[in-house]
Amino acid sequence: MSYSLSQLRIFEAVAQYESYTRAAEKLFMTQPAISMKIKQMEEDSGLSLFERQGKKMCLTATGRELLRYASRVLQAHNDMLGVMKELKGTKGGHLIISVATTANYFVAQLLAEFSKIHDDINITLDVTNRHHLLDQLENYEPDMVIMGEPPKGCGLHSQRLMENPLVVIATPTHPFAHTPQLLSLETVLAERFILREKGSGTRSAIERHIHKYNTSCKNTIEMRSNETIKHAVEAGLGLGIVSLHTIQPELESGRLVILNVEHFPIRRYWHIVMRKSKKLSPIAHEFRKFVLKEAPRFIQKPPSDYEAYSKNSLD
């Protein structure tokens, strides 16, 4: 019994996306072809690799064990191809980047600019939540990840990229929108808040921050993306706390405003995170240098009053 690289890629994709359909989309294959390949792997090995849980295809204990080795095999193959290209002195290559959903706003611009310099490369960009980013790092999938708070340990190397302040936002018609004086944290947290789901990096940072002042958000609505949070705040459903870098269009058009709140903004940072043992391809090395040097150029400047009240933050 032996598995081809193609089979291992299919197995890894189904494990990552927990869906034959999504794996098929990512690999540009049909759903029946993906299903047939997995069934063939199970029949050849006599082992059950997946089990259906509702709409998800979840790994069995055996499948999880196999995934550890499959990811290493695929990474070793990618490393080999990168070394071969480097030795041949060829250009191009395949850049695999995963980013937190809030980082997509500036990473897409970085990739567009980088591809103008290296127009012969292939790019795979996955925009996902923190849970999937950690899974991908564990399985050696991306060349690097751009995210907020990096995980500790786990054989990872992280490097601070730039500041990522979290601010309180409101619709311009909210009673607090045009209050000139500093709003107390207690007063603001008495309002309804639209927040990311529990477990997200942004939500965790918010809860840790306000816990320092012995308070919490009492009335919350959870949403799974920053876009839906912004739309909900615009509609007057409540206040929100989001990255400053995600709201520039709404600030410029007057659809949202930043509130002047005690102990805000929350000081956070973007980080580049990689596996310590992962060998970067030449093009990945170039992209990493490019990001560290050029990323600040692609961050929108804050509104004129932001710096004035950002000094109120005690972080």
pLDDT, average across residues 207-229? 90
In the predicted model, is pLDDT for residue 154 greater than 80? no
The first and second tokens of residue 301, run together, are: 């400047």
pLDDT value of position 197:
87
In the predicted model, is pLDDT for residue 198 greater than 70? yes
What band does 87 get if pLDDT is binned at 50, 70 and 90?
low
Q: How far apart are CA 202 and CA 210, in angstroms?
A: 13
Question: Which amino acid is it at 220?
Answer: T
Q: Compare 250 and 82 and report the one with higher pLDDT.
A: 250
The three-state DSSP-derived secondary structure of the chain is CCCCHHHHHHHHHHHHHCCHHHHHHHHCCCHHHHHHHHHHHHHHHCCCCEEEECCEEEECHHHHHHHHHHHHHHHHHHHHHHHHHHHHCCCCEEEEEEEEHHHHHHHHHHHHHHHHHCCCEEEEEEEECHHHHHHHHHCCCCCEEEECCCCCCCCEEEEEEEECCEEEEECCCCCCCCCCCCECHHHHHCCEEEEECCCCHHHHHHHHHHHCCCCCCCEEEEECCHHHHHHHHHCCCCEEEEEHHHCHHHHHHCCCEECCECCCCECCEEEEEEECCCCCCHHHHHHHHHHHHHHHHHCCCCCCCHHHHHCCCCC
In the predicted model, is pLDDT for residue 89 greater than 60? no
Among the listed residues 154, 111, 134, 71, the one whose alpha carbon sits nearest the alpha carbon of residue 286:
111
pLDDT value of position 299:
63
157-188 pLDDT, tens digit each: 899 988 889 999 999 999 999 888 899 999 99
233-278 pLDDT, tens digit each: 999 999 999 988 888 889 989 999 999 999 999 988 899 999 888 8
What is the arrangement of strands in the sheet containing 121-128, beginning at the earlier edge strand?
Answer: 121-128, 93-100, 144-147, 269-275, 156-163
Long-range contacts of 78-81 (CB under 8 A, 24+ apart): 78/281, 79/278, 79/279, 79/281, 81/281
CB 59 within 8 A of CB 86: no
Give the dihedral of Cα atoms 16, 270, 201, 168; nearest 10 deg. -140
CB 102 within 8 A of CB 130: no
pTM above 0.85, yes or no: no
Please give the CATH topology (third level) of the domain spanning 1-85.
Arc Repressor Mutant, subunit A (1.10.10)
Range in 45-59, 143-157, 177-191, 231-245 the model is least confident about: 143-157
pLDDT value of position 300:
55
pLDDT value of position 189:
94
Residue boundaries of the structural domains of the chain: 1-85, 166-269+301-310
pLDDT value of position 309:
44
Q: How far apart are CA 101 and CA 145, in angstroms?
A: 11
The average confidence (pLDDT) of the chain is 86
Cβ count within 10 A of residue 116 = 8
Please give the CATH topology (third level) of the domain spanning 166-269+301-310.
D-Maltodextrin-Binding Protein; domain 2 (3.40.190)
In the predicted model, is pLDDT for residue 298 greater than 80? no
> Which residue shows structure tokens 């997946």?
50
Task: Find the length of the chain.
Answer: 315
Range in 1-5, 45-49, 164-168 the model is least confident about: 1-5
